[in-house]
Amino acid sequence: ARELRTVVRTPAVVALAVVFGLTVVAVAAAGSGSRGGYVPLVLDLLPFVEALVPLLAFALCYRAVLTDRQTGELDVLRTFDVTRRAYIGGVYLGRSLALVTVVFGSLLVAAATVPVLSPPKPTFLALNTAADSPVAFVRFAVLAVVFALATAAVALAISAAARTTRQAIALAVGLLVAFVVGVDAAAIAGLASETIGIDAVPFLLAASPNGAFRSLVFGVAVETGSAATPLVALLGLGGWVVGALVVAVLTAWRPVE
């Protein structure tokens, strides 16, 4: 509850959430995806969601624990019977609830543009309605939520591990660059130099939340590729969530002897 109040009372975070929602809806309304159906809309929104969700998650979480430490509020909380796991869990749940509400709500509004903007289907053609179903977009929205939870966990780990605002910003920017372009660039360089084979690409992409999310979208929402790739990507996202939360718990404060 405290984290939700903090989010609502932070104008910069609220403004960024509004910008995220307007961007997603604007892409859906102005692009060709909503006119072509749900699967084309998924492909239109994928690069924007992949880039903007980590930005929103880091803005929400990268100073959550650090601010409590700098203002002395963390010292006050430690006088109560609150464990590190309970504290990190509360911060993560509160910030994630706000993040998921913005991401999932924006995508639902974007999906509503499909029946409004799609042209009437011709009656003289036999169409396969299963090829473009709202289920595909629902899968995409759920995967976007999982992706948001993973990036929020990473941002929270940064907030807990950093001891200064400068450290937190440096870590956040560095990881954002690595997630958005770093792993993809490494995969392309590895393929170009023949250092890695094509079979290793799914494992390399799963090493970042962005690559794992993209693989899940193509393997589950759009349903292309092998069945092994989504499993590897799901394990990659799950590993980021668990690993980041463990780091956050261990670095929030030193246990009292």
Q: 19: domain range?
A: 1-119+130-252
pLDDT bucket at 125, cuts 50 / 70 / 90: very low
Position 232 in a domain: yes
Confidence check: pLDDT of 196 > 80:
no
Tallying the residues shown for the chain, one arrives at 257
User: Given a cut of 80, is residue 209 above it in pLDDT?
Assistant: yes
In terms of DSSP H, where are the helices of 162-227?
Answer: 165-177, 183-192, 201-205, 209-216
In a domain, 124, yes or no: no
Please give the Cα distance from 178 to 36 (Å, whole number): 33
- Whose tokens are 């993973």? That residue is 150
Evaluate whether 90 touches 160 at the Cβ level (below 8 Å): no
d(CA 86, CA 111): 36
257 assigned to some structural domain: no
Token pair recorded at residue 191? 């393929």
Provide, for the chain, the percentages of residues in helix, strand and coil under a 3-state DSSP scheme, each rounded to the nearest 5. 80, 0, 20
Judge whether 63 lies within some domain. yes
**pLDDT at res. 38:** 83
DSSP line for 109-147: HHHTHHHHHSPPPPTTS---GGGS-HHHHHHHHHHHHHH
Domain assignment present for residue 31? The answer is yes
Residue with tokens 């490494």: 186
Any domain includes 185: yes
pTM assigned to the model: 0.85
* Residues whose CB is less than 8 angstroms from the CB of residue 165 and which lie 6 or more positions away in sequence, other chains included: 63, 66, 70
Give the SS3 label for residue 196: coil
Q: Are 117 and 38 in contact (CB under 8 A)?
A: no
Q: Do 160 and 69 meet the contact criterion of CB atoms below 8 Å apart?
A: no
pLDDT band at 34; cut points 50, 70, 90: low
Written as one letter, the residue type at 87 is Y
For residue 130, name the pLDDT band (cuts at 50, 70, 90): very low
- CB atoms inside a 10 Å sphere around CB 236: 23
Phi, psi of 249 (to 5 degrees): -65, -45
What is the mean pLDDT of the segment spanning 193-199? 69
Task: Check residue 236 and give its pLDDT.
Answer: 86
Residue 17 has pLDDT above 50, yes or no: yes
Q: What pLDDT score does 86 carry?
A: 93
pLDDT at 32 over 60: yes
* Cβ contacts of 152 within 8 Å, gap of 6 or more: 57, 60, 61, 92, 95, 96, 99
246/20 Cα distance (integer angstroms): 29
Dist. CA 174–CA 81, nearest whole Å: 35
Q: Which helix (H) or strand (E) holds 236?
A: helix 228-252
Q: How does pLDDT run across 70-86, given as a tens digit for each residue?
A: 999 998 988 888 899 99
Number of domain units in the chain: 1
What DSSP character marks residue 254?
P
pLDDT at 205 over 60: yes
